[in-house]
Structure 1
Amino acid sequence: MDFTLDADLEAIRRRTRAFVETRILPVEADRSAWDAHDNIAEAPLRALRAEARAEGLWCPQVPRDLGGMGLTVSGRAVMYEEANRSIFGPAVFNCAAPDDGNMDILARVGRPDQQARWLAPLVTGDVRSSFVMTEPAPGGGSDPGMIGTTATRHGDVWRVTGRKWFITGAEGAAHFILIARTDPNPEERRRHLTAFLFHRDQPGWRILRRIPIMGPEEHGGHCELAFDGLKIPDENRLMGVGDGLKVTQIRLGTARLTHCMRWLGLAKRCMAEAQAYVDAREGFGIRLADRESVRLMLGGVALNIQIGRLLTMNAAAALDRGSHARKEVSMAKLHVADTLHQAADVAIQLNGARGYSRDTVLEWIYRYARQARLVDGASEVHRMVLADAYAREGDDFWGWGA
């Protein structure tokens, strides 16, 4: 397998890296540019987004004819890794979750009129969006077959009732993709879900609370929502009745992997912060960088980052070939989530009290990293996916193609 980047993709990688270095990192270093939830504030975000668009570094996941860069999944792996060298990078390039996955699914399965209404404002950056699936127990979480929120049809209108929670970005979103049960038969688990589009100004739903979380937040937080009669015209149904699970699988397969791409960028940032400190810091007559124990710690992280990059690129290539790449994505998700946490932990340890303070970005990454083993399927769920695949495939599990 040849991982050499072609000239165009290498140019994008270099331009992205330079933009992060010269434009975004100085803003990140200025705490006055942060909002109350430890994300980039709106004014500096608008300014940087305008510069990114002028540089042609905008919406890498969206096809060119819809206003984006039209990168393949493999191409996104290269750019996203560079983008998330800064904690603000993905938001600046308009490839942060959940908008990233929502734009991807709308570009892939939305009708042209739906793309004009629901996708185009996301591509221009005029609005944000949210994906509304997860529910409180006993509703659906990692198992979407348990979703209890219902959409009942009345002529050409669907009426939605139920409860959702941990809905990322909901407080700041204008456009929503909702997954609800449309078949009342509880035994029909695979054909009972349908996807819908709705706008924040429609009556019949409300945000109950913005859930306080341990880590820094995406714009719009993580919210609990109640639906008490939201009416959605049938024209705002995404794909067919009963295709909600398909929508979810199409969206989340790539979205899980784009998380890995971004997390690798953060893990590399942790390595850079750690290396810079141990190169300069001396104790007991020796540089930290010259101590064998320190070199072993950094070498272990470097190894795991590279393994994560290879797993991620392997899964991206499989997706580009048209495979669902379920086990490939699960392997990448598992490994990269663990690696991000390891990288942040090691970097804080090597920086000592400085790393635990807010004088560096490491404590931000450490708090953020803990969610990586939960979002888009807990690690245990992905291990079950791999165990099931092995039980079916035996030695073919380790085949050379997906």
Structure 2
Amino acid sequence: MDFRISPKIEDYRSRIATFVEHELIPLESAPASFDEHENISLELLQRMREKAMAEGLWCLQLKPETGGAGLDKVGMAVCYEAMNRSIFGPVVFNSAAPDDGNMMLLEVVGTPAQKERWLQPIVRGDVRSAFAMTEPHPGGGSDPSMIQTRAEKRGGTYVVHGRKWFITGAGEASHFILIARTSDDPRYGLTAFLFHKDQPGWEILRRIPIMGPEEHGGHCEIAFTGLEIPEENVLIGEGQGLKATQIRLGPARLTHCMRWLGLSKRSVEIAQAYAAERTGFGQRLADRESIQLMLGDLALQIEIGRMLVMRAAWELDQGSFARKEVSMAKLHVANVLHQAADTGIQINGARGYSKDTVLEWIYRYARQARLVDGADEVHRMVLNRFLTSEGSDFWHWPVETNAASS
């Protein structure tokens, strides 16, 4: 593939980098910038979002007719990486999970009426959203075929009973996408629904305490006790819930990786700056071979991650689901993020373990990366399935058609 980016994408990347440097990174060192769950406070977030909108850096991933800039996945990879140089970046530019994936799904499969009712308020920044799929045992997690929450059709309405948990952002969300079982068909037994927080028949049982800093709205456990959803709020159609999850989760896994690369690079940046100024036993840390080996290896691993992300992004732009490529990127980049934060802390010593830098924030956040949207082991199994079915073709090169090469 041609790794050169267009002047348009470079312009967005450059302007995002300037915004992050001057508007967001200075906020990270002020305790007043954070809410009680260690994310940017909602009042400050609103002010920063208004600035991002004013500078034309809002919802770049969506089509112009939806309210975005029409970036393809390759362009998103470049821009999302730049956004997440700051821990506050993605949510300020309206490219943070779960809104990011929900907006892209609704843009692709929503009817005109559904887009107006459920998508546009998220695009405008008026509401937040959540994607309710994961369930406590014995329900579905990485394996959606295990989903237990059921939606029974009664006339023109579906009545939902069941439980979900670790639903990101549920505490602040107004718009929900719910995956529930409508039949026992192994392929067409799931359906995707839309519902609003004010509808009766459901409740948040608890905001689950977690190890790291939390997204706005936390990670919640939800009970459905007769939620009624009209049939016009079905996405794609009854029995198409598995298709909806596939459309959403492939790109969503990759956008996580795009953002994580930005945090990985930020961790290296903090480590480099400290190593350049800190001396001990008559020598700068930066001049020690052990430090050079640590940073050099990180530079390599991050670049490998960037190549895997770009390959997967390119495949998605060609119309492929890119399941193999996305799994490789997800597996590698999740581990690189953890390595980068850990190495940054090690080089900074006690300073890295303190809250004087964002390294400890990134470190706690990074541990979830190897779990969300499929644990490492799930993606290794996916890759083994492809290896078993494809054999040596697992490593094939795409070949240009005669028309493209002429």
Q: TM-score, normalised by structure 2?
A: 0.98
Is the Cα contact below 8 Å between 2:253 and 2:373 reproduced in 1?
Answer: yes
Give distance in 2, aligned partners of 1:60 and 1:36: 29
* Residue type at the aligned position of 1:344: A
Partner of 1:359: 356
Which amino acid in structure 2 is aligned with residue 312 of structure 1? Answer: V
Q: What displacement does 1:229 show?
A: 0.3
Aligned match of 1:130: 130
Query: Letter of the aligned partner of 2:287 in structure 1?
Result: D
In the TM superposition, what is the alpha-carbon distance from 1:389 to its structure 2 partner? 0.3
Instruction: Give the Cα–Cα distance (whole angstroms) in 2 for the partners of residues 280 and 60 of structure 1.
Output: 38
Q: What's the CA shift for 1:129?
A: 0.2
Match in the other structure for 1:117: 117
Are 2:208 and 1:211 equivalent residues in the alignment?
A: yes
| AA aligned opposite 1:324 | F
Aligned to 1:344: 341
1:54-93 aligned within 5 A: 54-93=54-93
Counterparts of 1:251-262 in structure 2, within 5 Å, are 251-262=248-259
Q: Paired residue for 1:335?
A: 332
Which residue of the partner structure matches residue 243 of structure 2?
Answer: 246
Give the CA deviation at 1:259: 0.1
> SS at 2:94's partner residue?
coil
State the distance in 1 between where 2:107 and 2:205 align.
Answer: 31
Find the partner of 1:324 among 321, 326, 333. Answer: 321
CA deviations on 1:67-119 (whole Å, 9 max, x unpaired) are 11211011100000000000000010000000000000000100010000000
C-alpha RMSD of matched pairs (Å): 0.7
User: What secondary structure sits across from 1:130 in the alignment?
Assistant: strand
- In the TM superposition, residue 256 of structure 1 has moved relative to its aligned partner by 0.1
Does the Cα contact within 8 Å between 2:39 and 2:215 map onto a contact in 1? yes
Extract unaligned runs of 5+ from structure 2.
400-406
Aligned partner of 2:198 in structure 1 is 201
Return the offset for 1:60.
1.5
Equivalent in 310, 326, 337 of residue 307 of structure 2: 310
**Per-residue CA shift, 1:195-245, capped at 9, x if unaligned?**
000000000000000000001000000000000000000000001111000
Asked if 1:368 is matched to 2:365, the reply is: yes
* Whole-angstrom distance in 2 between the partners of 1:2 and 1:286: 43
Residue from 293, 298, 303 that aligns with 1:301: 298
Is residue 40 of structure 2 the alignment partner of residue 40 of structure 1? yes
Displacement of 1:29 after TM fit? 2.0
1:98 matched to 2:98: yes
Q: Could you say which residue in structure 1 is the equivalent of 2:403?
A: none
Q: Which residue of 1 aligns with 2:232?
A: 235
Q: Deviations over 1:34-65 (max 9, x none)?
A: 00001000111111100100110001121110
Partner Cα separation in structure 2 for residue 294 and residue 311 of structure 1:
26
Percent identity over the alignment is 66
SS in 2 for 1:161: strand
1:291 partner amino acid: R
CA distance in 1, matches of 2:29, 2:121: 30
Alignment match, 2:218: 221
Task: Write the deviation string for residues 354-391 of structure 1: whole angstroms up to 9, x where unpaired.
Answer: 00000000000000000000000001000000000010
Secondary structure in 2 matching 1:365: helix
What is the distance in 2 between the residues matched to 1:60 and 1:248?
A: 22
Structure 1 gaps, min length 5 = none
What is the CA distance between 1:250 and its match in structure 2?
A: 0.4
What is aligned with 2:9?
9
Per-residue CA deviations over 1:127-175 (Å, capped at 9, x if unaligned) read 0000000000000000000000000000100000000000000000000
1:177 aligns with 2:166: no
Q: CA deviation at 1:26?
A: 1.3
Q: CA deviation at 1:401?
A: 2.6
The aligned length equals 399
Q: Provide the rounded CA distance (Å) in 2 between the counterparts of 1:38 and 1:69.
A: 30
Equivalent in 360, 378, 384 of residue 375 of structure 2? 378
Letter of the aligned partner of 1:91 in structure 2?
V
